[in-house]
Amino acid sequence: MKTDDNKVEKVAPTFSQRFTAAVVKEFGAQVGVIALTPLQQKLAQHMFIGIDTQLKALDAKREETTLPIVWSNINMGKLAIDAMHRVELGLDALIPNHISPIPYLNGKTKKYDLDLRIGYVGRDCYKRAMALDEVIDIRYELVHKNDKFKPLMKSESRDVEFYDFDIAENPFDRGPVTGGFGYIIYKEPDKNKLVIVTKEDMEKSEKAAKTTKFWKPHPKEMQYVVVVRRTTDKIKVDPKKINASVAVVEMDEAMSISALQIEEGANKKPLDIESESTESTKVTKAPKVTEVPDDTEKDDDSSLDGKPDDDERVEIEKQEAGEMSGGDDWMDE
């Protein structure tokens, strides 16, 4: 930009430019590449748009006495690292239930940490991509009381696992959900896998969620998510495809699950759910925002990740997975 004196005035980079630059920087530090592929650049841009949209929506609903939910109040160092890992996994923040940005007010930094929660659709996406054996398709179904479901397991007379499934004669009166199943279809049919999810499994997940805020109004959607989670857990990961990003997101998820099992007070509080926090220091009051489930469930071996409706979001308690590298220096560049 030129002034009246024909002097060149330096234009400060936008938050979008800074965000993308920070993600590129983390790729260089963590992955060893100096430039993003065209796809990764697109995913980074989508990540910014998705986060920006969520921040604006939440800030419009926050209480006046709470810290504004804007980019200048976000822990950008941590966000850049987390965003890098999700971009490397090929996740798109503009696809419903791929990623849900959930802000938490951090009592130590007095800024918001963004949990880029991976949804059930995102989990399905990266699990297929990382599979040891090529996955052709995965079917997820809820089974109702009036449906007919019969597992057909491998035997001397049957080389491939399969099932018989017919919905009730009256499709509008199938009765309550009694369970569900997932069926992983591989390129080599003899590796096909039938995963049965019982009603007890679903109830266990509901109980572990520590709240009925989302399960009570959306039971079928949450039950469906449990089926997706339990099924994708059975996909064997190819060691050759494993990278740091897979390890990090899986660890983050495991830490979130562990946090639910700890009955100790802490200091992190989700924006719109009254629940226990997860750090040892006290935080200021977080904004109360009414949001509906996206995709998060937690039990001893899985956590919720989603709800089929595009506009729904869920907030969960999250254990901070140790000290994260990086900082906010790039914000001052």
Q: Tell me the pLDDT of the chain (333 aa) as tens digits.
A: 555 556 666 767 777 888 888 888 887 776 666 678 899 999 999 999 999 999 999 999 999 999 999 999 999 889 998 999 999 999 999 999 999 999 999 999 999 999 999 999 999 999 999 999 999 999 999 999 999 999 999 999 999 999 999 999 999 999 999 999 999 999 999 999 999 999 999 999 999 886 788 899 999 999 999 999 999 999 999 999 988 888 888 887 777 655 544 433 344 444 433 333 333 333 334 444 433 344 444 443 333 333 444 334 333 333 323 323 333 433 333
Residue ranges of the alpha helices (H) in 140-286? 199-208, 219-232, 244-260
**What is the Cα–Cα distance from 61 to 311, expressed in whole angstroms?**
16
Model pTM above 0.75: no
What tokens does 5 get? 């004196």
Q: Write down the pLDDT at residue 155.
A: 94
Write phi, then psi, for 147 (nearest 5 degrees): -80, 165
What one-character-per-residue DSSP string does 280-308 give?
A: SS--PPPP-------S----SS------S
**How high is the pLDDT of residue 3?**
54
> Within 62-175, where are the H helices?
76-88, 120-129
Distance from C-alpha of 133 to C-alpha of 54, rounded to nearest angstrom: 36
The whole-number pLDDT of residue 31 equals 67
Give the separation between CA 27 and CA 231, rounded to whole angstroms.
Answer: 31
DSSP 265: -
Q: Are 270 and 104 in contact (CB under 8 A)?
A: yes
| Rounded alpha-carbon distances, angstroms, from residue 95 to 3, 85, 118, 183, 282 | 42, 17, 11, 23, 35
C-beta of residue 196 within 8 angstroms of C-beta of residue 139: no
Tokens of 55: 């921040």
Which pLDDT score, from 0 to 100, does residue 256 have?
A: 63
3-state secondary structure at position 207 = helix
pLDDT score for 105: 93
pLDDT of the residue at 276: 32
Q: How far apart are CA 55 and CA 46, in angstroms?
A: 14
Separation of alpha carbons 314 and 306, rounded Å: 8
Phi-psi sector, 97: left (phi>0), alpha (psi -120 to 50), beta: left
% helix / strand / coil in the chain, to the nearest 5?
Answer: 35, 20, 45
